[in-house]
Structure 1
Amino acid sequence: MLEVKHVKKNYGTLTAVQDLSFTIKPGEIFGLLGTNGAGKTTTFKMILGLLEPTNGEILLNGKKISYEDADHIGYMIEERSLLVKLKVKDLVLHYGALKGLDKETILERLDYWLKRFNIESYKDKKIKELSKGNQQKIQFITSIINNPKLLVLDEPFSGLDPINTFKFVEVIRDFQAKGTMIIFSTHQIDHVESFCEQLIVLEKGNPVLSGKISDIKKDFKKHNIKIIADCEPETIKGIKGVIDVITQPNEIIVKIEDESCAKDVFDYIKTCDNVRKFDIEQASLSEIFIEKVGETFEQV
Protein backbone atom coordinates (compact mmCIF):
# COMPACT_ATOMS: atom_id res chain seq x y z
CA MET A 1 0.00 0.00 0.00
CA LEU A 2 1.18 3.52 -0.79
CA GLU A 3 0.37 6.17 1.81
CA VAL A 4 0.90 9.89 1.24
CA LYS A 5 0.33 11.65 4.57
CA HIS A 6 -0.02 15.43 4.86
CA VAL A 7 2.86 16.02 2.46
CA LYS A 8 4.18 19.51 1.85
CA LYS A 9 7.05 20.55 -0.40
CA ASN A 10 8.70 23.96 -0.42
CA TYR A 11 11.27 25.33 -2.84
CA GLY A 12 12.54 28.28 -0.84
CA THR A 13 9.53 30.54 -0.34
CA LEU A 14 7.49 28.72 -3.00
CA THR A 15 5.11 25.99 -1.82
CA ALA A 16 4.83 23.47 -4.65
CA VAL A 17 2.62 20.98 -2.78
CA GLN A 18 0.48 21.74 0.28
CA ASP A 19 -1.03 19.18 2.72
CA LEU A 20 -1.48 16.34 0.24
CA SER A 21 -2.87 13.01 1.51
CA PHE A 22 -4.09 9.88 -0.26
CA THR A 23 -3.79 6.10 -0.11
CA ILE A 24 -3.45 3.56 -2.93
CA LYS A 25 -4.03 -0.14 -2.34
CA PRO A 26 -2.73 -3.02 -4.49
CA GLY A 27 -4.72 -3.28 -7.72
CA GLU A 28 -5.99 0.30 -7.59
CA ILE A 29 -5.53 2.97 -10.25
CA PHE A 30 -5.40 6.46 -8.77
CA GLY A 31 -5.80 9.64 -10.80
CA LEU A 32 -3.60 12.65 -10.05
CA LEU A 33 -4.80 15.60 -12.10
CA GLY A 34 -4.01 19.27 -12.42
CA THR A 35 -3.06 21.99 -14.84
CA ASN A 36 0.57 22.58 -15.82
CA GLY A 37 2.54 23.66 -12.77
CA ALA A 38 -0.05 22.32 -10.34
CA GLY A 39 2.47 20.17 -8.43
CA LYS A 40 2.04 16.77 -10.09
CA THR A 41 5.68 16.27 -11.11
CA THR A 42 6.91 17.34 -7.67
CA THR A 43 4.51 14.82 -6.13
CA PHE A 44 5.77 12.06 -8.41
CA LYS A 45 9.39 12.82 -7.51
CA MET A 46 8.60 12.67 -3.79
CA ILE A 47 6.80 9.33 -4.25
CA LEU A 48 9.81 7.98 -6.14
CA GLY A 49 12.17 9.14 -3.41
CA LEU A 50 13.90 11.66 -5.67
CA LEU A 51 12.78 14.56 -3.48
CA GLU A 52 12.31 14.75 0.27
CA PRO A 53 9.05 16.26 1.52
CA THR A 54 9.41 19.41 3.59
CA ASN A 55 6.72 18.02 5.90
CA GLY A 56 4.69 14.86 6.07
CA GLU A 57 5.67 11.37 4.99
CA ILE A 58 5.30 8.88 2.14
CA LEU A 59 5.20 5.19 3.01
CA LEU A 60 5.32 2.11 0.79
CA ASN A 61 4.01 -0.94 2.60
CA GLY A 62 4.45 0.85 5.93
CA LYS A 63 8.04 2.00 5.35
CA LYS A 64 9.66 5.12 3.98
CA ILE A 65 10.56 4.66 0.31
CA SER A 66 14.27 3.90 -0.05
CA TYR A 67 16.76 2.99 -2.76
CA GLU A 68 15.92 -0.70 -2.27
CA ASP A 69 12.36 -0.02 -3.47
CA ALA A 70 13.54 1.31 -6.84
CA ASP A 71 13.67 -2.17 -8.37
CA HIS A 72 9.93 -2.55 -7.76
CA ILE A 73 8.83 0.85 -9.11
CA GLY A 74 8.18 1.88 -12.71
CA TYR A 75 7.98 5.48 -13.86
CA MET A 76 7.00 6.79 -17.27
CA ILE A 77 7.59 10.52 -17.44
CA GLU A 78 5.71 12.89 -19.73
CA GLU A 79 8.81 14.04 -21.63
CA ARG A 80 10.62 11.35 -23.61
CA SER A 81 13.87 10.45 -21.86
CA LEU A 82 15.25 7.95 -24.34
CA LEU A 83 18.88 7.70 -25.44
CA VAL A 84 18.11 8.11 -29.11
CA LYS A 85 21.47 6.88 -30.46
CA LEU A 86 21.08 3.48 -28.81
CA LYS A 87 19.35 0.50 -30.35
CA VAL A 88 16.08 -0.56 -28.76
CA LYS A 89 17.62 -3.74 -27.37
CA ASP A 90 20.59 -1.92 -25.83
CA LEU A 91 18.39 0.78 -24.32
CA VAL A 92 16.08 -1.72 -22.62
CA LEU A 93 19.07 -3.75 -21.42
CA HIS A 94 20.38 -0.57 -19.81
CA TYR A 95 17.13 0.25 -18.04
CA GLY A 96 16.55 -3.36 -17.03
CA ALA A 97 20.01 -3.61 -15.49
CA LEU A 98 19.28 -0.47 -13.45
CA LYS A 99 16.31 -2.39 -12.00
CA GLY A 100 18.52 -5.34 -11.01
CA LEU A 101 17.46 -7.69 -13.81
CA ASP A 102 19.84 -10.11 -15.52
CA LYS A 103 20.37 -9.96 -19.27
CA GLU A 104 18.47 -13.17 -20.06
CA THR A 105 15.37 -12.00 -18.18
CA ILE A 106 15.46 -8.56 -19.81
CA LEU A 107 15.71 -9.96 -23.35
CA GLU A 108 12.97 -12.52 -22.70
CA ARG A 109 10.62 -9.81 -21.43
CA LEU A 110 11.63 -7.43 -24.21
CA ASP A 111 10.71 -10.00 -26.86
CA TYR A 112 7.33 -10.45 -25.21
CA TRP A 113 6.55 -6.72 -25.12
CA LEU A 114 7.81 -6.03 -28.64
CA LYS A 115 5.49 -8.76 -29.89
CA ARG A 116 2.63 -7.43 -27.74
CA PHE A 117 3.01 -3.98 -29.33
CA ASN A 118 3.61 -5.35 -32.86
CA ILE A 119 7.09 -3.84 -33.17
CA GLU A 120 9.27 -6.99 -33.14
CA SER A 121 11.26 -5.79 -36.15
CA TYR A 122 12.47 -2.71 -34.23
CA LYS A 123 14.61 -4.60 -31.73
CA ASP A 124 17.87 -3.69 -33.47
CA LYS A 125 16.80 -0.26 -34.72
CA LYS A 126 18.09 2.93 -33.16
CA ILE A 127 15.56 4.90 -31.14
CA LYS A 128 15.96 7.95 -33.39
CA GLU A 129 14.78 5.86 -36.37
CA LEU A 130 11.41 5.20 -34.72
CA SER A 131 8.25 7.28 -35.03
CA LYS A 132 7.08 9.26 -32.00
CA GLY A 133 4.36 6.73 -31.29
CA ASN A 134 6.80 3.82 -31.38
CA GLN A 135 9.25 5.72 -29.19
CA GLN A 136 6.38 6.07 -26.73
CA LYS A 137 5.92 2.30 -26.78
CA ILE A 138 9.61 1.77 -26.01
CA GLN A 139 9.47 4.26 -23.16
CA PHE A 140 6.47 2.40 -21.77
CA ILE A 141 8.33 -0.90 -22.04
CA THR A 142 11.28 0.52 -20.08
CA SER A 143 8.89 1.50 -17.28
CA ILE A 144 7.31 -1.97 -16.99
CA ILE A 145 10.26 -4.24 -17.82
CA ASN A 146 10.73 -4.93 -14.08
CA ASN A 147 7.06 -5.91 -13.53
CA PRO A 148 6.67 -3.07 -11.01
CA LYS A 149 4.54 -3.23 -7.88
CA LEU A 150 4.10 0.55 -8.11
CA LEU A 151 3.72 2.13 -11.55
CA VAL A 152 3.63 5.90 -12.10
CA LEU A 153 2.31 6.95 -15.52
CA ASP A 154 2.54 10.62 -16.52
CA GLU A 155 0.67 11.27 -19.79
CA PRO A 156 1.19 7.71 -21.08
CA PHE A 157 -1.05 8.18 -24.14
CA SER A 158 0.71 11.26 -25.49
CA GLY A 159 1.25 10.93 -29.25
CA LEU A 160 -0.66 7.65 -29.58
CA ASP A 161 -3.43 6.92 -32.05
CA PRO A 162 -6.66 5.27 -30.78
CA ILE A 163 -5.52 1.73 -31.66
CA ASN A 164 -2.26 2.01 -29.75
CA THR A 165 -3.98 3.81 -26.90
CA PHE A 166 -6.23 0.75 -26.59
CA LYS A 167 -3.15 -1.50 -26.46
CA PHE A 168 -1.71 0.59 -23.62
CA VAL A 169 -5.04 0.40 -21.80
CA GLU A 170 -5.03 -3.40 -22.07
CA VAL A 171 -1.53 -3.59 -20.58
CA ILE A 172 -2.38 -1.21 -17.75
CA ARG A 173 -5.46 -3.30 -16.95
CA ASP A 174 -3.27 -6.43 -16.92
CA PHE A 175 -0.94 -4.89 -14.35
CA GLN A 176 -3.91 -3.79 -12.28
CA ALA A 177 -5.21 -7.37 -12.28
CA LYS A 178 -1.82 -8.54 -10.99
CA GLY A 179 -2.12 -6.18 -8.02
CA THR A 180 0.11 -3.35 -9.20
CA MET A 181 -0.59 0.06 -7.65
CA ILE A 182 -0.90 2.59 -10.47
CA ILE A 183 -0.80 6.38 -10.33
CA PHE A 184 -2.18 7.84 -13.51
CA SER A 185 -1.89 11.44 -14.69
CA THR A 186 -3.29 12.78 -17.94
CA HIS A 187 -4.95 15.79 -19.50
CA GLN A 188 -7.38 13.41 -21.23
CA ILE A 189 -9.93 13.31 -18.44
CA ASP A 190 -12.17 10.77 -20.17
CA HIS A 191 -9.40 8.22 -19.56
CA VAL A 192 -9.38 9.05 -15.85
CA GLU A 193 -13.13 8.55 -15.70
CA SER A 194 -12.85 5.11 -17.31
CA PHE A 195 -9.74 4.00 -15.39
CA CYS A 196 -9.76 5.35 -11.87
CA GLU A 197 -11.97 4.90 -8.85
CA GLN A 198 -10.33 7.71 -6.89
CA LEU A 199 -8.55 10.93 -7.78
CA ILE A 200 -7.08 14.16 -6.50
CA VAL A 201 -7.05 17.40 -8.47
CA LEU A 202 -4.19 19.78 -7.64
CA GLU A 203 -4.11 23.48 -8.41
CA LYS A 204 -1.11 25.58 -7.38
CA GLY A 205 -0.06 22.74 -5.07
CA ASN A 206 -3.37 22.56 -3.24
CA PRO A 207 -5.84 19.66 -3.43
CA VAL A 208 -9.08 21.25 -4.70
CA LEU A 209 -11.01 18.04 -5.36
CA SER A 210 -10.51 14.53 -3.99
CA GLY A 211 -12.28 11.26 -3.33
CA LYS A 212 -14.08 8.52 -5.20
CA ILE A 213 -15.13 9.62 -8.67
CA SER A 214 -18.63 8.23 -8.11
CA ASP A 215 -19.00 10.36 -4.95
CA ILE A 216 -17.53 13.46 -6.61
CA LYS A 217 -20.04 13.23 -9.44
CA LYS A 218 -22.90 12.51 -7.05
CA ASP A 219 -22.05 15.50 -4.83
CA PHE A 220 -21.75 17.87 -7.77
CA LYS A 221 -25.28 19.25 -7.99
CA LYS A 222 -25.28 20.45 -11.59
CA HIS A 223 -26.70 18.04 -14.16
CA ASN A 224 -27.16 17.87 -17.91
CA ILE A 225 -30.35 17.02 -19.78
CA LYS A 226 -30.00 15.71 -23.31
CA ILE A 227 -33.04 16.30 -25.47
CA ILE A 228 -34.11 15.39 -29.00
CA ALA A 229 -37.44 17.06 -29.78
CA ASP A 230 -39.04 19.85 -31.78
CA CYS A 231 -38.74 22.48 -29.06
CA GLU A 232 -37.64 26.10 -28.58
CA PRO A 233 -34.24 26.51 -26.89
CA GLU A 234 -35.13 30.10 -25.89
CA THR A 235 -38.18 28.83 -24.00
CA ILE A 236 -36.00 26.32 -22.13
CA LYS A 237 -33.54 29.10 -21.20
CA GLY A 238 -36.38 30.92 -19.46
CA ILE A 239 -37.13 28.03 -17.10
CA LYS A 240 -35.97 28.62 -13.52
CA GLY A 241 -32.81 26.67 -12.66
CA VAL A 242 -31.58 26.39 -16.26
CA ILE A 243 -27.99 27.60 -16.49
CA ASP A 244 -27.40 27.21 -20.22
CA VAL A 245 -28.84 25.61 -23.34
CA ILE A 246 -26.43 24.30 -25.98
CA THR A 247 -27.87 23.48 -29.39
CA GLN A 248 -25.91 20.78 -31.19
CA PRO A 249 -26.57 19.26 -34.63
CA ASN A 250 -28.21 16.12 -33.22
CA GLU A 251 -29.50 17.14 -29.79
CA ILE A 252 -29.98 19.92 -27.26
CA ILE A 253 -27.98 19.91 -24.01
CA VAL A 254 -29.57 21.72 -21.08
CA LYS A 255 -27.39 22.51 -18.08
CA ILE A 256 -29.33 22.78 -14.84
CA GLU A 257 -28.48 23.86 -11.28
CA ASP A 258 -29.62 20.57 -9.76
CA GLU A 259 -31.81 17.59 -10.53
CA SER A 260 -34.90 19.22 -9.01
CA CYS A 261 -35.05 21.59 -11.99
CA ALA A 262 -35.53 18.69 -14.39
CA LYS A 263 -39.29 18.40 -13.74
CA ASP A 264 -40.02 21.91 -15.04
CA VAL A 265 -37.95 21.23 -18.16
CA PHE A 266 -39.76 17.93 -18.67
CA ASP A 267 -43.15 19.58 -18.25
CA TYR A 268 -42.29 21.87 -21.16
CA ILE A 269 -40.85 19.09 -23.33
CA LYS A 270 -44.08 17.09 -22.92
CA THR A 271 -45.86 19.85 -24.82
CA CYS A 272 -43.45 19.63 -27.76
CA ASP A 273 -43.76 17.50 -30.88
CA ASN A 274 -41.59 14.58 -31.97
CA VAL A 275 -39.95 13.93 -28.57
CA ARG A 276 -37.37 11.18 -29.02
CA LYS A 277 -35.01 11.69 -26.11
CA PHE A 278 -35.03 13.14 -22.60
CA ASP A 279 -32.06 11.91 -20.53
CA ILE A 280 -30.81 13.38 -17.25
CA GLU A 281 -27.10 12.83 -16.68
CA GLN A 282 -24.55 13.74 -14.06
CA ALA A 283 -22.01 16.35 -15.10
CA SER A 284 -18.91 14.89 -16.71
CA LEU A 285 -15.67 14.75 -14.78
CA SER A 286 -14.23 17.22 -17.29
CA GLU A 287 -16.95 19.77 -16.46
CA ILE A 288 -16.36 19.31 -12.72
CA PHE A 289 -12.60 19.69 -13.19
CA ILE A 290 -12.99 22.92 -15.16
CA GLU A 291 -15.37 24.40 -12.59
CA LYS A 292 -13.25 23.48 -9.56
CA VAL A 293 -9.98 24.64 -11.08
CA GLY A 294 -11.70 27.79 -12.34
CA GLU A 295 -12.83 28.56 -8.79
CA THR A 296 -9.23 28.50 -7.55
CA PHE A 297 -8.14 30.87 -10.31
CA GLU A 298 -10.89 33.30 -9.34
CA GLN A 299 -9.75 33.25 -5.70
CA VAL A 300 -6.13 34.13 -6.52
Structure 2
Amino acid sequence: MIELKSVFKVYKSHKGINNISFKINKQDVVAFVGDNGAGKTTTIKAIFKEIKLDLGQITFNNEVITKKHLQKMAFFPDSNNIPLDLKVEDYIYFVGLLNGVGKKEITKRGDKLLRSLNILDSKEQKLSQLSAGMKKKAILAATLVYQPEVIIFDEPTANLDIKAKTEFIEIIDKLHHQGITILITSHLIDELQKIANHLIIIDKGKIIYDAAFDKNKESILEIHNRLVKPAQNNIEDILGVYDD
Protein backbone atom coordinates (compact mmCIF):
# COMPACT_ATOMS: atom_id res chain seq x y z
CA MET A 1 0.00 0.00 0.00
CA ILE A 2 2.12 2.93 1.28
CA GLU A 3 5.84 2.35 1.72
CA LEU A 4 8.58 4.66 2.97
CA LYS A 5 12.07 3.71 1.83
CA SER A 6 15.14 5.20 3.56
CA VAL A 7 13.51 8.60 4.01
CA PHE A 8 15.50 11.57 5.33
CA LYS A 9 14.37 15.10 6.11
CA VAL A 10 16.94 17.38 7.74
CA TYR A 11 16.14 20.81 9.14
CA LYS A 12 18.72 23.46 10.01
CA SER A 13 18.53 22.77 13.72
CA HIS A 14 17.90 19.02 13.73
CA LYS A 15 17.12 15.89 11.75
CA GLY A 16 13.37 15.66 11.36
CA ILE A 17 13.39 12.04 10.19
CA ASN A 18 16.51 9.96 9.83
CA ASN A 19 16.59 7.02 7.41
CA ILE A 20 13.09 5.76 8.19
CA SER A 21 11.52 2.84 6.37
CA PHE A 22 8.16 1.19 6.99
CA LYS A 23 5.11 -0.08 5.14
CA ILE A 24 1.40 0.46 5.73
CA ASN A 25 -0.31 -2.65 4.43
CA LYS A 26 -3.82 -2.75 2.99
CA GLN A 27 -6.55 -2.79 5.67
CA ASP A 28 -4.10 -2.37 8.54
CA VAL A 29 -4.79 -0.12 11.51
CA VAL A 30 -1.33 1.22 12.28
CA ALA A 31 -0.69 2.86 15.65
CA PHE A 32 2.06 5.42 14.98
CA VAL A 33 3.50 6.26 18.37
CA GLY A 34 6.13 8.74 19.48
CA ASP A 35 6.69 11.51 21.98
CA ASN A 36 6.40 15.18 21.00
CA GLY A 37 9.14 16.05 18.53
CA ALA A 38 9.84 12.41 17.68
CA GLY A 39 9.09 12.91 13.98
CA LYS A 40 5.44 11.88 13.59
CA THR A 41 4.25 15.14 12.03
CA THR A 42 7.24 15.36 9.68
CA THR A 43 6.56 11.79 8.54
CA ILE A 44 2.90 12.52 7.84
CA LYS A 45 3.79 15.70 5.92
CA ALA A 46 6.27 13.67 3.88
CA ILE A 47 3.62 11.10 2.96
CA PHE A 48 1.32 13.85 1.68
CA LYS A 49 4.17 15.61 -0.18
CA GLU A 50 3.84 18.73 1.96
CA ILE A 51 7.60 18.80 2.45
CA LYS A 52 10.44 17.94 0.11
CA LEU A 53 12.52 14.93 1.07
CA ASP A 54 16.31 15.18 1.24
CA LEU A 55 16.69 11.48 0.47
CA GLY A 56 14.47 8.44 0.06
CA GLN A 57 11.22 7.54 -1.62
CA ILE A 58 7.57 7.11 -0.69
CA THR A 59 5.34 4.90 -2.84
CA PHE A 60 1.66 3.97 -3.11
CA ASN A 61 1.09 0.47 -4.48
CA ASN A 62 4.72 0.44 -5.69
CA GLU A 63 4.38 3.74 -7.59
CA VAL A 64 5.99 7.00 -6.51
CA ILE A 65 3.23 9.10 -4.96
CA THR A 66 1.71 11.69 -7.31
CA LYS A 67 -1.51 13.73 -7.32
CA LYS A 68 -3.55 10.74 -8.53
CA HIS A 69 -2.39 8.74 -5.51
CA LEU A 70 -3.09 11.58 -3.09
CA GLN A 71 -6.75 11.47 -4.19
CA LYS A 72 -6.90 7.94 -2.77
CA MET A 73 -5.54 9.14 0.57
CA ALA A 74 -7.03 11.39 3.21
CA PHE A 75 -5.70 13.31 6.18
CA PHE A 76 -8.14 13.88 9.02
CA PRO A 77 -7.41 17.50 9.98
CA ASP A 78 -7.51 19.23 13.32
CA SER A 79 -10.76 21.12 13.96
CA ASN A 80 -8.77 24.35 14.26
CA ASN A 81 -7.48 24.04 10.69
CA ILE A 82 -10.81 24.07 8.84
CA PRO A 83 -13.07 26.99 7.78
CA LEU A 84 -15.43 27.04 10.76
CA ASP A 85 -17.62 29.74 9.21
CA LEU A 86 -18.85 27.26 6.56
CA LYS A 87 -22.03 25.25 6.92
CA VAL A 88 -21.52 21.50 7.30
CA GLU A 89 -23.02 20.76 3.86
CA ASP A 90 -20.88 23.48 2.24
CA TYR A 91 -17.69 22.13 3.79
CA ILE A 92 -18.48 18.63 2.52
CA TYR A 93 -19.27 20.09 -0.90
CA PHE A 94 -15.97 22.00 -0.93
CA VAL A 95 -13.90 18.91 0.01
CA GLY A 96 -15.75 16.75 -2.51
CA LEU A 97 -15.19 19.17 -5.40
CA LEU A 98 -11.55 19.58 -4.42
CA ASN A 99 -11.12 15.82 -4.80
CA GLY A 100 -12.93 15.38 -8.10
CA VAL A 101 -16.38 14.19 -6.98
CA GLY A 102 -19.39 15.26 -9.08
CA LYS A 103 -21.87 17.75 -7.59
CA LYS A 104 -24.85 15.37 -7.46
CA GLU A 105 -22.71 12.58 -6.05
CA ILE A 106 -21.39 14.86 -3.30
CA THR A 107 -24.93 15.63 -2.15
CA LYS A 108 -25.95 11.97 -2.29
CA ARG A 109 -22.87 10.70 -0.47
CA GLY A 110 -22.81 13.61 1.98
CA ASP A 111 -26.37 13.08 3.17
CA LYS A 112 -25.79 9.34 3.49
CA LEU A 113 -22.64 9.90 5.55
CA LEU A 114 -24.24 12.50 7.80
CA ARG A 115 -27.19 10.21 8.37
CA SER A 116 -24.93 7.29 9.29
CA LEU A 117 -23.08 9.55 11.74
CA ASN A 118 -26.38 10.81 13.22
CA ILE A 119 -25.81 14.48 12.35
CA LEU A 120 -27.94 14.91 9.20
CA ASP A 121 -30.15 17.42 11.04
CA SER A 122 -27.10 19.64 11.52
CA LYS A 123 -26.04 19.92 7.89
CA GLU A 124 -27.22 23.54 7.57
CA GLN A 125 -25.44 24.62 10.74
CA LYS A 126 -22.06 26.30 10.67
CA LEU A 127 -19.18 24.15 11.85
CA SER A 128 -18.49 26.74 14.54
CA GLN A 129 -21.94 26.08 16.02
CA LEU A 130 -21.37 22.36 16.57
CA SER A 131 -20.14 20.60 19.68
CA ALA A 132 -16.61 19.20 19.51
CA GLY A 133 -17.91 15.68 18.90
CA MET A 134 -20.33 16.72 16.15
CA LYS A 135 -17.62 18.82 14.53
CA LYS A 136 -15.33 15.78 14.34
CA LYS A 137 -18.15 13.78 12.72
CA ALA A 138 -18.75 16.53 10.16
CA ILE A 139 -15.05 16.61 9.29
CA LEU A 140 -15.09 12.83 8.97
CA ALA A 141 -18.08 12.97 6.61
CA ALA A 142 -16.14 15.41 4.41
CA THR A 143 -13.08 13.15 4.60
CA LEU A 144 -15.11 10.14 3.48
CA VAL A 145 -17.08 11.87 0.72
CA TYR A 146 -14.40 11.14 -1.89
CA GLN A 147 -14.03 7.53 -0.70
CA PRO A 148 -10.30 7.39 0.15
CA GLU A 149 -8.59 4.03 0.47
CA VAL A 150 -6.30 5.28 3.24
CA ILE A 151 -7.00 7.71 6.09
CA ILE A 152 -4.34 9.14 8.37
CA PHE A 153 -5.70 10.41 11.69
CA ASP A 154 -3.52 12.72 13.80
CA GLU A 155 -4.82 12.95 17.38
CA PRO A 156 -8.44 12.46 16.21
CA THR A 157 -9.99 12.51 19.68
CA ALA A 158 -8.27 15.65 20.94
CA ASN A 159 -10.64 17.96 22.87
CA LEU A 160 -13.41 15.36 23.11
CA ASP A 161 -15.07 14.21 26.32
CA ILE A 162 -14.88 10.56 27.36
CA LYS A 163 -18.17 9.56 25.74
CA ALA A 164 -17.34 11.27 22.43
CA LYS A 165 -13.82 9.78 22.42
CA THR A 166 -15.19 6.28 22.88
CA GLU A 167 -17.75 6.78 20.11
CA PHE A 168 -15.18 8.17 17.69
CA ILE A 169 -12.74 5.32 18.25
CA GLU A 170 -15.61 2.90 17.57
CA ILE A 171 -16.32 4.74 14.30
CA ILE A 172 -12.66 4.42 13.24
CA ASP A 173 -12.79 0.71 14.05
CA LYS A 174 -15.90 0.35 11.84
CA LEU A 175 -14.10 2.11 8.98
CA HIS A 176 -11.32 -0.44 9.28
CA HIS A 177 -13.80 -3.30 9.08
CA GLN A 178 -15.26 -1.68 5.95
CA GLY A 179 -11.87 -2.06 4.27
CA ILE A 180 -10.23 1.33 4.84
CA THR A 181 -6.53 1.35 5.69
CA ILE A 182 -5.74 3.53 8.69
CA LEU A 183 -2.73 5.12 10.35
CA ILE A 184 -3.47 6.85 13.63
CA THR A 185 -1.45 8.85 16.13
CA SER A 186 -2.62 9.61 19.64
CA HIS A 187 -1.11 10.48 23.00
CA LEU A 188 -3.92 8.41 24.52
CA ILE A 189 -2.35 5.01 24.04
CA ASP A 190 -5.32 3.16 25.54
CA GLU A 191 -7.34 4.28 22.49
CA LEU A 192 -4.79 2.81 20.10
CA GLN A 193 -4.65 -0.38 22.13
CA LYS A 194 -8.31 -1.07 21.31
CA ILE A 195 -8.07 -0.98 17.52
CA ALA A 196 -4.47 -1.32 16.26
CA ASN A 197 -3.16 -4.44 14.54
CA HIS A 198 0.27 -2.99 13.74
CA LEU A 199 2.56 -0.83 15.86
CA ILE A 200 5.26 1.58 14.71
CA ILE A 201 7.26 3.59 17.25
CA ILE A 202 9.37 6.57 16.24
CA ASP A 203 11.93 8.20 18.54
CA LYS A 204 14.28 11.07 17.75
CA GLY A 205 13.47 10.74 14.05
CA LYS A 206 14.19 7.01 13.83
CA ILE A 207 11.88 4.00 13.66
CA ILE A 208 12.71 1.85 16.68
CA TYR A 209 9.81 -0.62 16.49
CA ASP A 210 7.76 -1.91 13.54
CA ALA A 211 5.74 -5.11 13.93
CA ALA A 212 2.31 -6.69 13.84
CA PHE A 213 0.44 -6.11 17.09
CA ASP A 214 -1.94 -8.35 19.03
CA LYS A 215 -4.06 -6.16 21.30
CA ASN A 216 -5.10 -9.17 23.37
CA LYS A 217 -1.55 -10.28 24.15
CA GLU A 218 0.58 -7.13 24.02
CA SER A 219 0.58 -3.65 25.52
CA ILE A 220 1.52 -0.62 23.43
CA LEU A 221 2.40 1.29 26.59
CA GLU A 222 4.73 -1.44 27.85
CA ILE A 223 6.48 -1.76 24.48
CA HIS A 224 6.87 2.03 24.24
CA ASN A 225 8.19 2.42 27.79
CA ARG A 226 10.64 -0.43 27.29
CA LEU A 227 12.16 1.15 24.19
CA VAL A 228 11.89 4.91 24.72
CA LYS A 229 13.98 6.44 27.47
CA PRO A 230 12.08 9.15 29.39
CA ALA A 231 13.38 12.70 29.42
CA GLN A 232 15.92 13.13 32.20
CA ASN A 233 14.57 15.65 34.67
CA ASN A 234 16.45 16.12 37.92
CA ILE A 235 13.45 16.32 40.22
CA GLU A 236 15.59 17.00 43.28
CA ASP A 237 17.14 20.05 41.61
CA ILE A 238 13.75 21.29 40.48
CA LEU A 239 12.23 20.97 43.93
CA GLY A 240 15.37 22.17 45.67
CA VAL A 241 14.35 25.76 45.11
CA TYR A 242 11.89 25.32 47.98
CA ASP A 243 14.60 24.30 50.45
CA ASP A 244 15.91 27.82 50.97
Provide TM-score, normalisation by structure 2.
0.86
Moved more, 78-87 or 13-22: 78-87
SS in 2 for 1:91: helix
Is this contact kept in 2: 1:28–1:176, CA < 8 A? yes
**Structure 1 unaligned spans of 5+:** 218-280
Q: How far apart are 1:179 and its partner, in Å?
A: 3.0
CA deviation string 1:4-33 (max 9, x = no partner): 111111123521011211112211111111
Bigger Rg, structure 1 or 2: 1
What is the CA–CA distance in structure 1 between the aligned matches of 2:194 and 2:45, rounded to whole Å?
26
Would the alpha carbon gap of residues 282 and 119 (structure 1) be closer, same or farther in structure 2, given more than 3 Å must change? closer
1:84–1:39 distance in 2 versus 1, CA, 3 Å: same
Determine the structure 1 residue equivalent to 2:235. none
Report how many aligned residue pairs link the two structures. Answer: 232
1:223-253 deviation line (CA, Å, top 9, x unaligned): xxxxxxxxxxxxxxxxxxxxxxxxxxxxxxx
Counterpart for residue 115 of structure 2: 115
Pairwise CA distance, 1:200? 1.4
Equivalent position of 1:100 in the other structure: 100
Distance across 2 between alignment mates of 1:53 and 1:190: 32
Q: Which has the higher contact order (CA 8 A, sep 6+)?
A: 2
Partner of 1:237: none
Residues 135-189 of structure 1: CA distance to partner in whole angstroms, max 9, x if unpaired? 2222222222211111111111223344433443343233323432211111111
C-alpha separation in 1, matches of 2:174 and 2:219: 26
Cα displacement (A) at 1:291: 3.7
Provide Cα deviations, 1:62-91, integer angstroms capped at 9, x if missing partner: 111111222211111345322111111111
Amino acid at match of 1:285: I
Match of 1:75 in 2: 75
Q: What residue in structure 2 maps to residue 241 of structure 1?
A: none
Aligned AA (1:39): G
Report the residue type matching 1:204 in the other structure. Answer: K
Q: Does the residue aligned with 1:38 lie in a helix, a strand or coil? A: coil
**Corresponding residue of 1:34:** 34
Q: Which residue of structure 2 aligns with residue 155 of structure 1? A: 155
Alpha-carbon offset, residue 283 of structure 1: 7.1
Q: Residue 211 of structure 2 corresponds to which residue in structure 1?
A: 211
Q: Distance in 1 between matches of 2:55 and 2:20?
A: 10
The answer to whether the 8 Å contact 1:85/1:127 transfers is: yes
User: Partners of 2:9 and 2:79 in 1: how far apart?
Assistant: 22
Contact 2:88/2:123 (8 A) holds in 1: yes
Whether the 8 Å CA contact 1:203–1:293 is kept in 2: the answer is yes
* RMSD, matched Cα: 2.2
SS in 2 for 1:53: coil
CA contact (8 A) 2:79 2:136 kept: no
Q: Between the two proteins, what is the percent identity of the paired residues?
A: 29
Q: Aligned ranges for residues 1-300 of structure 1 at < 5 Å?
A: 1-78=1-78, 80-214=80-214, 284-294=219-229, 297=231
Query: Contact between 1:77 and 1:155, CA under 8 Å: does it hold in 2?
Result: no
Q: Aligned to 1:187, what secondary structure does the other structure show?
A: coil
Task: Measure the CA separation in 2 of the matches of 1:124 and 1:113.
Answer: 15
User: Which is further off, 116-125 or 59-68?
Assistant: 116-125
**Please, which moves more after superposition, 205-214 or 24-33?**
205-214
- Is the Cα–Cα contact under 8 Å of residues 17 and 206 in structure 2 kept in the other structure? yes
Q: State how far apart, in whole Å, the 1-side matches of 2:189 and 2:155 are.
A: 11
| 5+ residue gaps, structure 2 | 233-244
In structure 1, give the amino acid aligned to 2:228.
V
Higher strand proportion, which one? 1
Find the residue that maps to 1:294 and give its secondary structure: coil
- TM-score norm. by structure 1 comes to 0.71
SS at match of 2:71: helix
